[in-house]
Amino acid sequence: MTGPRVTALSAVPRLRRGVKTTYDETRASHVVLFPEGVLVLNETAAAVVGLCDGLRSVEGIALRLAEQFEGVEPDDVAELVERLVARRVVDVDG
Amino acid sequence: MGEAPRADAPFGLLAELTHRCPLRCGYCSNPVDLVGRGDELDTARWRQVFDQARALGVLQVHLSGGEPLARKDLPELVDHAAGLGCYVNLVTSGLGLTPDRLADLRGVDHVQLSVQDAHEASANRIAGVRAFEHKLRAAEAIRGAGLPLTVNVVLHRLNLDHVGDIVALAERMGADRLELANTQYYGWALRNRAALLPTREQLARAGEVVAAAQARSAMEIVYVIADYHEAHPKPCMHGWGARQLTVAPNGDVLPCPAAGVIDGLGVENVRDRPLADIWHTSPAFTAFRGFDWMRDPCRSCARRELDFGGCRCQAFQLTGDAAATDPVCTLSPHHGLVEAILAGGPADVEHRAVVR
């Protein structure tokens, strides 16, 4: 377990400067590239990262994803954003 | 002998484009036998290396050296790696990194700028040339271009006491990240080990300063420990031939930048064989991949999944046997070698050689 969650549902995540996303044919996965690492994403995580645009809130991302995937909970999105913040891939405002 | 299992694809390529460098740091990790310009891969060959690396699964290309700016074809190489979809990291001394030069390097995603110390006189003494002012201007140029900046500082006896001022300097330079890496003893650094080894007291004080800075600073501060002083070895490269490969200026393909020191490793060259074949089947890569090569105390040790037996190059350098447990480990029968080294006194620094 990590510490208490601090990412609010109203928080607005965006990719940090110097972070790129791309599709890797070798691994057949979406990946996040940042200064010292690579994150290989599953389908849901890739969808969340794709919506971290500095405009949508965590709740907004969850609503948008619910159109695509079943059983998307805002808390699950918040937890994933929290992990991306810890890896310095994403910043949040608000 | 059965067929070697296919390894997972590597994520990173360290492309040592050249060993030429305007700096002469005594802590340099380049090999003591530096590759001259005449033996460097040409532009077409490097492009082919990047093509093959991307096809193999490489997503990050670290353009390093020596000083990569010493290559006149650097803009072309950056464009090529970026065009393949790779994350392009420029690892530079900053000398020659003007706004004009940066404008030709649009494909660069991130810059790592080396800094030798917080104070000009000391920094220039460590670099062996007057470099400090150039680095301040390079940092301005990097920020002016809107690029994320990591400041890299190799720590040792001569600058470890200034680590608080180094943090402040990196903040003034506008760094997003600061990498404070205690010296690892390979290449020129191994030759200068007695001069560079810090005392335990220095490390303890620096550790406290770094921890306080990590809690306070907006920068991400990465601290790489001094492994000779630790009870257990570092998880070197996260396992041999597991995540990254190095191509030396002459095209030699290595599991890590230091691996050329190991006698009889069977290093192969990109001029002779495709990169994927070398990664999967070259003896240099299969020798210590996984856990089968291990002997005790590593073989039966629960920590083997954490540290992979430590560093093969260090084991070879200190014991003459690359399959030995890293002598840094207190469980190694050779640990006395490290204790004896730590008990030795300091010496003067010998600057690295100039190569043309």
User: Three-state SS string across chain B, please?
Assistant: CCCCCCCCCCCEEEEECCCCCCCCCCCCCCCCCCCCHHHCCCHHHHHHHHHHHHHHCCCEEEEECCCHHHCCCHHHHHHHHHHCCCEEEEEECCCCCCHHHHHCCCCCCEEEEECCCCCHHHHHHHHCCCCHHHHHHHHHHHHHCCCCEEEEEEECCCCHHHHHHHHHHHHHCCCCEEEEEECCCCHHHHHCHHHHCCCHHHHHHHHHHHHHHHHHCCCEEEEECCHHHCCCCCCHHHCCCCCEEEECCCCEEECCCCHHHCCCCCCEECCCCCHHHHHHHCHHHHCCCCCCCCCCCCCCCCCHHHHCCCCHHHHHHHHCCCCCCCCCCCCCCCHHHHHHHHHCCCCCCCCCCCCC
Quote the CA–CA distance of B353 and A9 in Å, as a whole number.
Answer: 57
Measured in whole angstroms, how far is the alpha carbon of residue A35 from the centre of its chain? 17
Residue A33: which of B59, B146, B150 has the nearest Cβ? B59
pLDDT digit string, tens, across residues B29-63? 999 999 999 999 999 999 999 999 999 999 999 99
Residue with more model confidence, B6 or B72: B72
Helices B120-127 and B132-144, interaxial angle, to 10°? 100
**Average pLDDT of every residue of chain B:** 94
Q: Which residues of A are less than 8 Å from B82 in CB distance?
A: none
- pLDDT over 50 (residue B2): no
Other C-beta atoms within 10 Å of B96: how many? 13
**Angle ∠(B128,B134,B140) on CA atoms, nearest 5:** 145
Residue with more model confidence, B350 or B73: B73
Q: Which residues of B are less than 8 Å from A17 in CB distance?
A: 146, 148, 176
Quote the CA–CA distance of B34 and B38 in Å, as a whole number.
Answer: 12
Interface test with B, best of A22, A30, A33, A88 (most B CBs within 10 A): A33
What percentage of chain A carries pLDDT values higher than 70?
Answer: 93
pLDDT digit string, tens, across residues B295-313? 999 999 999 999 999 999 9
CB pair distance less than 8 Å for B57 and A26: yes
Q: Decide if B79 touches A, using CB distance below 8 A.
A: no
Quote the CA–CA distance of B169 and B122 in Å, as a whole number.
Answer: 14
Confidence of residue B356 (pLDDT cuts 50, 70, 90): confident
Q: Which of residues 297-336 of B touch A (CB under 8 A)?
A: none
Q: What residues contact B254, with CB distance under 8 A and at least 6 apart?
A: B245, B246, B247, B248, B260, B267, B284
Confidence of residue A70 (pLDDT cuts 50, 70, 90): confident
The chain B residue lying nearest A22, using CA atoms, is B85
- pLDDT over 50 (residue A48): yes
- pLDDT over 80 (residue B285): yes
Residue with more model confidence, B237 or B207: B207
The chain B residue lying nearest A28, using CA atoms, is B57
CB pair distance less than 8 Å for B85 and A35: no
Q: Which of B114-118, B281-285, B343-347 has the lowest mean pLDDT?
A: B343-347
The chain B residue lying nearest A31, using CA atoms, is B59
Confidence of residue B336 (pLDDT cuts 50, 70, 90): very high
Other C-beta atoms within 10 Å of A42: how many? 9
The chain A residue lying nearest B53, using CA atoms, is A26
pLDDT digit string, tens, across residues B208-257? 999 999 999 999 999 999 999 999 999 998 999 999 999 999 999 999 99
- pLDDT over 60 (residue B98): yes
Mean pLDDT, residues B93-121? 96
Confidence of residue B5 (pLDDT cuts 50, 70, 90): low
CA proximity to B119, closest of B169, B55, B155: B169
Q: Which residues of A are less than 8 Å from B110 in CB distance?
A: 18, 35
Would you state the structure tokens that stand for residue B189, as one six-digit string?
């650094």
Quote the CA–CA distance of B252 and B254 in Å, as a whole number.
Answer: 6
Q: Decide if B148 touches A, using CB distance below 8 A.
A: yes
Confidence of residue A6 (pLDDT cuts 50, 70, 90): low
Taking CA atoms, A10 is separated from A4, A53, B83, B218, in Å, by: 17, 14, 37, 23
- pLDDT over 50 (residue B170): yes
Confidence of residue B258 (pLDDT cuts 50, 70, 90): very high
- pLDDT over 90 (residue A2): no
CB pair distance less than 8 Å for A17 and B109: no
Quote the CA–CA distance of B15 and B65 in Å, as a whole number.
Answer: 7
User: pTM here?
Assistant: 0.93
| pLDDT at site A5 | 57
Q: Which residues of A are less than 8 Å from B91 in CB distance?
A: none
- pLDDT over 70 (residue B335): yes
The chain B residue lying nearest A25, using CA atoms, is B57
Residue with more model confidence, B24 or B353: B24
CB pair distance less than 8 Å for A22 and B59: yes
Q: Which of residues 189-248 of B touch A (CB under 8 A)?
A: 220, 222
Quote the CA–CA distance of B338 and B193 in Å, as a whole number.
Answer: 12
Residues of A with CB under 8 A from a CB of B: 16-18, 20, 22, 24, 26-27, 31, 33-38, 88
The chain B residue lying nearest A39, using CA atoms, is B11
